[in-house]
Amino acid sequence: MVKPDIRQKKYDLFHKQTKVQLKIVPKNNFTYRNIISYIDKYLKNKEQKVVDIGCGAGTICFYIANEGNNVSGFDISSKAIKACKESSRVLNLDNLTRFKIVDFPEEYVEEKFDLIIFSEVIEHLRNDSLALKRIYTMLNKGGIVIITTPSIHAPLYRLGYAKSFDKRVGHLRRYTVEGLSKQCEDIGLKVIEVGKTEGILRNFLFLNPIMGKIVRLIKFSISDVVAFIDNITIPIFGESNIIIIAQRNS
């Protein structure tokens, strides 16, 4: 097993350029629009207790807190957590947010939550089964987890284009909707919805270092147009990402 301090240094290096958040992302933000659409769907009541595991810069945490919910952000990177704490002060969300360094899933979390965000994390973990078991214990009865992760059916991955990217960012595996759904069900979670997102166009923009710079320019109505075109490609070429929504019923 990789020592936690080595893993932390790895992700601190990844987050060395992480900046303080100066504003809340809009619903149609090109990078976060897919996950936000699911969060809005399942976070209907105010004042719910939420945690974002692997929160990074805290962008999702601040979006949820701005809606009036109590949000915790966990990440292994001390640099990411430091940036989150600074951002919470800048955004005046200190009273609704809390950030903590957590080596998940090795570190046990005793708290219970109504909603867990587990976005683009599971593919980085050596023990994904343990991670899902930990999530089950962290959910209140009726609580929901939103999981997003790269798809093994991604067209650019099947063409070999994404393999160097996966290695560079530390992806240990990819998933299918069926396989990840079964893993959730095997530990007692009930899968209530699945989604196939991110077409070949959007995936290319994020995988290609040069094209990735263009993503920052995709704002406002342009984001809606590009997303519309990208969604058309999913039934034709396949999805690059999958979303699993699961619930603890007991």
Q: Give 182-240 pLDDT, tens digit per residue.
A: 999 999 999 999 999 999 999 999 998 888 778 888 998 999 999 999 999 999 999 99
**Whether 180 contacts 149, CB under 8 Å:** yes
pLDDT at position 217 is 87
Q: Which two tokens stand for residue 58?
A: 């805290």
Percent of the chain with pLDDT over 90: 83
pLDDT value at position 2? 45
Average pLDDT over residues 158-186: 96
pTM of the model: 0.93
pLDDT of residue 3: 54
pLDDT at 1: 44
Residue 45: band (very low, low, confident or very high) from pLDDT cuts 50, 70, 90: confident
Mean pLDDT of 13-26: 84
Domains of the chain: 4-247 (3.40.50.150)
Q: Tell whether the model's pLDDT for residue 88 goes beyond 90.
A: yes
Of 8-17, 133-142, 189-198, the one with minimum mean pLDDT is 8-17
pLDDT band at 48 (very low <50, low <70, confident <90, very high): confident
- Residue 140 burial (CB count, 10 A): 14
What is the residue type of 215? Answer: V
Q: What is the pLDDT of residue 5?
A: 66
Confidence check: pLDDT of 4 > 60: no
Mean pLDDT of the chain: 93
pLDDT of 142 strictly over 90:
yes
Question: Residues 10, 15, 16, 20: what is their CA dihedral angle, to the nearest 10 degrees?
Answer: -160
* Residue 5 or 147, more confident: 147
Please state the rounded mean pLDDT for residues 172-188: 98
In whole angstroms, what is the distance from residue 116 CA to residue 144 CA? 6
As a whole number of angstroms, the distance between CA 233 and CA 200 comes to: 7
Q: What pLDDT score was predicted for residue 14? A: 64
Instruction: Say what the pLDDT of residue 197 is.
Output: 97
